[in-house]
Chains A and B, each alone.
Chain A
């Protein structure tokens, strides 16, 4: 019951959330309809809008709103582990994204069938990569929401990702011959949301990097999936620790 209510709340907490879903689906449909893209372009569009921007829109103020309004004070005085609040909210977002991406896939397939043009090769893998990216971004944004007021978590994440990737990209380009470029590339690639790894997974490049544990290694594509899941887990653990250790009331009276 508790899990169900907390997950359901991620959809009902704000009036605009269903509108976001409808607008995003309309965007996918419009992009297909007007540009008739091949799968890599459509995949990229889905990947960025469904994996990144959707996560920002749905997780905006997911804890920040409650903390700013004081509603969190009622929630955390209930007798259950506070981490559950975080876990079920992120799961709720993930579930919404899963349904959203299934609908998006259905929409693209329907348009493909109606128009009889374009191709949908690898659509499933793009949807999987998009969902994995969504989970990672949603977990990071939710963790930020525990410490950043109102809906600024999403804005902050957008600025960090855009500025960070742009700056790092420039540095790596100009420092290509330097030994430090490898370190910088790793810094971009591994601890941040796995745009590059999941993109390569979806685009069929299967990733260049293999997850190895001692003498064991897993396939490169599987390593990308595991890496994104591990990042989601790490972001979530940080969020749970922040949530369970913070003070909830800002009243100074």
Chain B
């Protein structure tokens, strides 16, 4: 998602990805196009939020990057290696939406198991386990069997597993599902630390408010396509200016109406549509020239939730 012509190595690069799901013995007409010619790239140190309505293709995209499914067309590379290759998986951490663990294993045994799969020595596993317990506050349930875990505990454990190999790329599918508020804050801090250490993180989530606190880079997906690269929305996005006046709000609204659209009017307040943040000083000058006695001016940026709803409406 970096600017064009950038030479910085890409952690993830997807080119013209198309994924079609076909049912056995069903005709071509019943094929589901989960992704259509999707191209994107993610750089190190970047957190990207995948957003979109259900069935938009977010999880399919994550699965393709993780190498769990194969594209019908196009290709994916992770750290320069084809997705699904061992080299690509070496720097990959993946957390599914609904993590499942063998019920007889304790959290400690599960961490040991995954440490062994990653090729760690006994000492390495012990070190990683201690670190995970500390980072994700797992002391309370580390020696309990997985069959007793709540959803939040499973999420913490799945996150610990995904981060065990200090990945260059972390793929998270609904990571804050079932986490309590403290857990969500810890998760956010942890992801920021990871980003600062150079890892790229791709998050698919419906919790837009949470995403907004982590990143300003979004990919909005709709019906298998990337609808809008709404990256750096916070810096450039359209918004609203909330102006509090002493009086005469309606009359002043009529005066500035032609230049700046007034969305809401009362005698003491105006809400004016703002296309770019640079317009704000001009609006304030115009208001002052029009005789407005301004008490306060408050820019109201469009939240990612509002952007999401707007894009959904535009999409339909």
Taking a contact as CB atoms under 8 Å apart, the answer to whether B58 and A252 are in contact is no
**Does chain B have a CB within 8 A of A103?**
no
Q: Are the C-beta atoms of B116 and A5 separated by less than 8 Å?
A: yes
Contact in complex: A74, B96 (CB < 8 Å): yes
DSSP class of A's interface residues: helix, strand, loop or mixed?
loop
**Once the chains bind, are A77 and B94 in contact (CB under 8 Å)?**
yes
Task: Give Cα A252 to B59, complex, Å.
Answer: 7
Whether, in the assembled complex, B266 has its beta carbon less than 8 Å from a beta carbon of chain A, the answer is no
Smallest CB separation, B288 vs chain A (Å): 51
A73 at the interface (CB under 8 A from B): yes
A79 touches B116 (CB 8 A): no
Are A252 and B100 in touch, CB under 8 angstroms? no
- Asked if B25 lies at the interface with its beta carbon under 8 angstroms from chain A, I say no
Which residues of the partner chain A approach B57 to less than 8 Å between Cβ atoms? Answer: 253
A2 touches B104 (CB 8 A): no
Cβ of B67 under 8 Å from chain A: yes
* Residues B112 and A15 in contact, CB atoms below 8 Å apart: no
Task: Write the nearest CB–CB distance from A242 to chain B, whole angstroms.
Answer: 14
Give the most central of A6, A12, A77: most B CB within 10 Å.
A77
B90 within 8 Å of A (CB atoms): yes
Which of B60, B89, B98 touches A77 (beta carbons < 8 Å)?
A: B89
For the complex, what is the distance from the CA of A74 to the CA of B104, rounded to whole Å?
A: 18
| Contact call A79/B118, Cβ cutoff below 8 A | yes
User: For window 77-103 of chain A, which residues contact chain B by CB distance below 8 Å?
Assistant: 77-81
- B174-190, CB < 8 A from A: none
State which of A23-31, A191-199, A243-251 sits at the interface with chain B.
Answer: A243-251
Does A69 reach chain B (CB closer than 8 Å)? yes
Flag if A77 contacts B68 (CB, 8 Å).
Answer: yes
Return chain B residues, CB-CB under 8 Å to A5.
112-113, 116-117
- For B96, what are the chain A residues with a Cβ–Cβ distance below 8 Å? 70, 73-74
- Residues on the B chain within 8 Å of A176, using CB: none
A251 and B68 CA atoms in complex are apart in Å by 10
Give the complex CA separation of A76 and B304 in angstroms. Answer: 34
- CA A18 – CA B299 in complex, angstroms? 66
Chain A count of residues within 8 A CB distance of the other chain:
28
- Is the CB of B260 closer than 8 A to any CB of chain A? no
Q: How far is the CB of B93 from chain A (nearest CB, A)?
A: 8
CA distance in complex: A80, B119 (Å): 9
* Number of inter-chain CB pairs below 8 Å: 98
Residues of B within 8 A of A252 (CB): 21, 32, 34, 55, 60
- Per-residue CB contact flags for chain A residues 1-27 toward chain B (1 = under 8 Å, else 0) read 110111001001111000000000000
Of the candidates B32, B66, B101, B116, the one whose C-beta lies within 8 Å of that of A1 is B116
Check if B89 sits within 8 Å of A13, measured CB to CB: no
Residue among A14, A76, A79 with max Cβ neighbours from chain B (10 Å): A79
B-side contacts of A78, CB under 8 Å: 89, 114, 117-118
Cα–Cα, bound, A96→B176 (Å): 39
B121 CB-CB contact with A under 8 Å: yes
B116 touches A2 (CB 8 A): yes
Kindly identify, within residues 300 to 315 of chain B, every residue whose CB is under 8 Å from any CB belonging to chain A. none
Count B interface residues, CB 8 Å. 49
**CA of A109 to CA of B105 in the docked complex: distance in angstroms?**
35
Q: How far is the CB of B98 from the nearest CB of chain A, in Å?
A: 6
Which B residue's beta carbon lies closest to that of A17? B104
Query: Is B70 engaged at the interface, CB distance under 8 Å to the other chain?
Result: yes
Residues of B within 8 A of A81 (CB): 86
A189 within 8 A of B: no
Please indicate the chain A residues that have their CB under 8 angstroms from the CB of B32 in the complex.
Answer: 252
Interface residue? A117 (CB, 8 A)? no
Q: Find out whether the CB atom of A73 lies under 8 angstroms from the CB atom of B116.
A: no
A71 B100 Cβ-Cβ under 8 A: yes
Query: Cβ of B86 and Cβ of A249 under 8 Å apart?
Result: no
Give the CA-CA distance A247 to B66 in the complex, in Å. 11
| Bound-complex Cα distance A251 to B86 (A) | 23
CA distance A71 to B113 in the complex (A): 13
Contact of B66 among A2, A14, A69, A77 (CB under 8 A): A77
Residue from A1, A6, A14 having most chain B Cβ neighbours under 10 A: A1
- Interface flag for B56 (CB, 8 Å): yes
Residues of chain A within 8 A (CB-CB) of B98 are 70
Contact indicator A251/B63 (Cβ below 8 Å): yes
CB distance from A86 to the nearest CB of B (A): 14
Q: CB distance A12 to B34 under 8 Å? A: no
Interface residue A75 (Cβ < 8 Å from any Cβ of B) = yes
Q: Does B54 contact A (CB under 8 A)?
A: yes
Q: Which of B21, B100, B103 contacts A15 (CB 8 A)?
A: B103
Contact indicator per residue, chain B 67-106, by CB within 8 Å of chain A (1) or not (0): 1111000000000000000110110111111111111110
Interface residues of B (CB under 8 A from A): 21, 32, 34, 54-60, 63, 66-70, 86-87, 89-90, 92-105, 112-122, 125, 158, 161, 165
9 A-B interface contacts by CB (under 8 A):
A1-B120, A9-B102, A13-B102, A14-B104, A71-B99, A78-B114, A79-B90, A249-B69, A253-B59
19 extra interchain contacts, Cβ-Cβ under 8 A, other than A2-B119, A77-B94? A1-B116, A1-B119, A2-B116, A5-B117, A13-B104, A15-B104, A70-B100, A73-B66, A74-B95, A76-B68, A77-B66, A77-B67, A79-B86, A79-B90, A79-B165, A80-B86, A247-B69, A251-B63, A252-B32
Top-6 shortest CB links A-B:
A1-B116, A5-B116, A253-B59, A69-B100, A79-B90, A79-B89
